[in-house]
Each structure stands twice: as structure tokens, then as C-alpha cells.
Structure 1
Amino acid sequence: MARFGPTGPMEVQGLEHSVANLSWGVLRGALGPSDGTAGAASNVPSALGVLRHAEIYRGVPQEIDEAFAVLQQHVMRDGRLYPVAVAALPFLFDVIRRGSPIATRVADLIALYASAASTVEAPVRDRMFTIISDHAGEIVRWFGQHDRAFAALAIHVRQLREIYSAAVEGAECVPPEALLAYVELDDPPAETQWLALAMLDAEDPMSRMCAAAFLARHGERSPQLATRIDAELPPSAATTLRNFVNRLWTPTVVRPAVAPKLLDAEVTFTGKKLVIVKAGPHNVTLPWEGATLERGDRLQVGLTAHGQPKLAVLTDRRGNVRVIDFSAHA
């Protein structure tokens, strides 16, 4: 990155804050000054220069990765954003405006800054949101190209929600990221429910998972649909969806209440804190502390669509029925 000096002034008509002549040494990041005096890992202008000339660096992708590392680990550190982010934003938008081959990574970086805006002081946060919202005319064109970043910005920057809804409402095809964003947002366009129902039959499992998360929040559910939704939201859904959106937000996953499937089972092992049973072709571990059961005892177990134990039903010789609920251990 040392080949490039400080990024020069940039003028964009109508965006007065994009005219930048800044002393990077006074702009603080995680490592201190942002002009490289604290080491190469703090050289923000050099990193921005590499991103601006990404086409030149196609053959040396490690240079681009190092530039992103500066902008992720000096401008941010451990989830905390630093004031230098405000100065970097106009340059990042300029990289996208140029049709850069790394535009999607840069858009994600902008959204990452927005996701951590609550960690800076209010004046810095307000200035940051003003810069982002003043680029709304450019951001709306991200729809269909940088869907993950656009969705994240709509969640984190309230001023962008109206144009996001307009983009979704006017689209013939809605990306799964949009459905996932509306899990966090209110009042999705009316057509999105029908689009989500159609996506629930998609070949791509990630698209089905996003559709299920959306319908769990906004859908008009029948018992049959609730069963479909539950089947598409495995226990790992929250983590999987967070990775899908590159951790730009944490999607909310709320599973519908669905009756478990009851299976006859036989105890094969008992321990102090668990019981293992044979239920059909499955060996199921029950988180059952202090169970008064022995090997060979018969019972029924209720399993979710993903094979997770939800309850056990015991019937004694007198016909008395006892239900053990494992929901708290899910």
C-alpha cells in the first residue's frame, strides 16, 4: 500500500461534504492517528488509495485485502467504530460510483460502519447518517447488485427505509436479503408475502430459510404453513442467517409453535443428566436430569421437524400420564 500517498480532494456536485482536504493525523482510529504514523495498519489514506485503484491491483489481491484490513481493524475494532469512519465514507462511496470490481466489498464495509454507529458519540453518528442518507440516490441503485449492504443500511439508517421500501415494492424479483431485512422492519410491501410463499419452494435452501424467517414474522399462517416454516428453520438458523448477511445485522428467528411428532421409544441408556432412547431409526439424547428410568423402559418422545427432543410422555401401570417438557433446553 505504500505506493500511494494520501488520497486527494474529491468533488461531487451537490454533496458538499465530499470535498475533502483532511489532516488524517488528527483523525483517530483504534491505533491512534490515521495517517500511518502509528504503523502501516493505521494508514487510512493509503488504504483508500488502493481501493480506488483496485483495477490496478487485480493481480496482487493481498494488497486489496491489506487495505480492507486497515479499514476494518483501524476504523473499527472489536465492534467499536472510531471517528475516522466519517472521513472515509465519501471516498468509499466514490469507489462504488466508479464501478469498481470490489464494489460489493466496499458496500458491505459502509454497511458495517453503519451497524456500529451506536458506539460513537451522537454528533459523529448524526454526521455519519447524514453522509449516508445524502447518497440515497446512489444507494437505491444498489438494489439487485449489493442487496446485502442495502438491506443492512435500511435496518441501521432510518432515513433510508422509505427508499428501500420503494425499491422492494417496484421490483419484479425480490432477493432473499430483502425478506430477511423485513424481519427487522415494520410494514413490508403487501406483495412480499406472496413472493415469500413462492420462495419457500425455491431450490436454494438459504432462500427458503430467509422466506421462512419472513413468514414467521409477517405471514398469515395456517397450521400447514407453520409446519413448513418450522421445517426450514433448523436450530442453527440464527447463526446461518447471520453469516449469510456477512454479520451486518443479527436476524431475528422466531419459530412458530408446532406440535412435535410423537414416537414410541425404548430407553437404551440412563445417566445423571441425560437419557438416550431408541425412537424408530433414531437414537435420541434427552436432557433429563434425575430421570427414574431403566434400560428397556418404554415411553413416547416428541421430536421437532429437525429431530430435536421437545417432550417425553410417560404412562405408568395405573394409566397415569406424566409429561416432561424439554423446551427450556432447546
Structure 2
Amino acid sequence: MLSTLRLLDFRCFPTLDLQVPPGGAVLTGDNAQGKTSILEAICLLVRLHSPRTHRMATLARFGSGGFGIAGDPWQSERQVRHSREGLFLKADDEARASQSSYLEDGGLIVWMGNEDLDLVRGPGEGRRRYLDFIGSQLSTDYRRSASRYRQALRAKNLLLKQARPRDAELLAYEEILVEHGTVVMRLRAQLVADLSPLAATAQRDISGKDEPLTLHYLPASGPDLRESMLQARERETRLRQAVVGPHRDELDLRVHGMPASQFASEGQQRTLALSLKLAQGQLLTLRRGAPPIYLLDDIFGELDPSRRNALMHHLPANAQKWITTTHLDWLEETPELRELVRYRLDSGHVKDIPI
């Protein structure tokens, strides 16, 4: 859990200092007032990950030279600072030399937002990121192999774009891709196997109907990555890009045996997206023995009371929940959340709202 959060020149906040009880907080206010930015800051502090951008430089307040985030997740005082000199990380007064070392003893996060619908009807990249975010929180091997695979993939694609790619260098990078891509494939297959029954149960409970949900891992290269790369070599040379490997994997989602992106209604798709994130939280809790922090970005106002109450039933009672919303009308219909501390945001300023 997180009891204090401090920001310096992050997004729209020159400074911010929040004190939050164990249950969490509800952040309310009009759009573009900084509510989602607070959730983003927590995600960065805990997992060095922003669901909104891949470029940390864009997170600094306009006109500033960088940003700072500090807080105490999982009883560990942590700092993340970014400037023109780069990224500086600290945990319990100890500087961490790399992102990997910072994350080794980091906490757990589940982010839930309306953009989660893209997990169902969007391109495969979003579903791969979903698996990567879970895998990186659960396994050092996953985090290391996924990072090294991405680095080798970028290098291979740069070579393929040359007029005459150097075969020896391509082969060297392919060895790295096979080594680490095979690890990613194995761990993704296990993740999907573990997530599938959890997501199916959540789908049934939230919908209140018997809507069988199944998840299937579809490796783009088939079971043998090395053989697939060999067979694809001529096509990759012609297209000047790598076409097989975990960067092309797919997570197949089906309701009643039919592809969810094509045949599920919007209500079913919204329930499915919630179910995937609830399954993520359950799996993190089962594997790590403690619930994650839940960051819920403006989703409750979009749900009917039955789905809202079913969602709350699935969230661990002892998990901290940070919730953003533009209005509080629905809150009185959700007993589990009535006692959460409430803040109102207005142009980067935060005010307490009496309960």
C-alpha cells in the first residue's frame, strides 16, 4: 500500500503531497485536471511504467527540466527522478543502478481504464503488453528476457533495412532472439494457462450469465522459434523486417467459442476487459502473496450497478484502491467505497471533500 505520494514538476503539478489511508482514495474533478496523472505517477513509482507514454521526458511539467516522484509503497521509501542527465532511482536511501535492480523488490499494480476495451477489439500489441506487464511483475526471467529480446529485435531490424545485410551479424542477433524469445514464449504460455480460469470465473460473475470465456496463447512462430526464423529468412530479407517471434504473438479471446472482437456485444467486451484485469490481480496475489494496488481510472461511471457491485466483490477487500471519477453520484450506490477518502482536483490543486 501507499500512504504518501509526493510529486515535483510532474505533468500539471508543480508540487503535490498526498496522505492516503490504507483503503485508498477517490479523486474527483472535471476532465484534464490531473486525476489520471496521479494514477500514472503511482504506476511509475511502483513499476517504472506509464500506460500513457513510452517517453519519460514528456512527463515533466512544461518548462521544467525534469520531474520527481516519491512515496512509500510496500513499506519501502522510493524515489524516481528524471532529468536531462537521465533516470535516477532510489529505494530506502540506496541508489539503484538500473531499472531491473529497482524492480527486483518492487510492488504490484493493476491499472483499469476505459481504454481496456482495446484489449478485446484492438490490435494484438495491446494484448502482448497486457501479458508483458503481468509477466514483468511476476518473474525476473520474464523481465530480463523480454528486454533483451526487444533490444536484439531492434538491432536485427536495423540490419535488415540495410541494402546488403551482413549474414554473420544477423545470425548473431538471431541466436539472442532464439534464446530469450523461447523464454518469453514459455512464460507467456504458462501465464495464459493460469489466467484463463480466473478470467472465466470473473466473466461469469460480472455478467451474471453463463458466458464461457476462453483464453488461448497463439505463438506467432509456432513451437520452434529457431526453425521458424530459418524458414522466414527469405521473406524477412525481402520485407526488410523480422516477421516471426514473440513480438507477433497473439492472445486469442473467445466467448461461447467465437472470437470476442467480432461477435461479442459491447457490453460483453466491456465485461471481458474487466475480467482480464481482475484475473491479473488475482494471479499477482496468488503468486506474490499480497494484493496489488488497484488504479481505477474513470470506469465506475460507465458501469451499471450490478456490474459495479460484481466488480467490487472481486476486488480484494484488503487491497488499496485509487479511483478517478468526474462525478460521485454512483458512489452512494457502492457501499464498499463510501468510506474512502475523497479529493477534488482543480487545475493541479487538491482539496479534501468531507465524507
Bigger strand share: 2
Which bracket does the TM-score occupy, shorter chain normalised? under 0.3
Question: Normalised by the size of structure 1, how large is the TM-score?
Answer: 0.23
More RCO (CA 8 Å, sep 6+): 2
Question: Normalised by the size of structure 2, how large is the TM-score?
Answer: 0.22
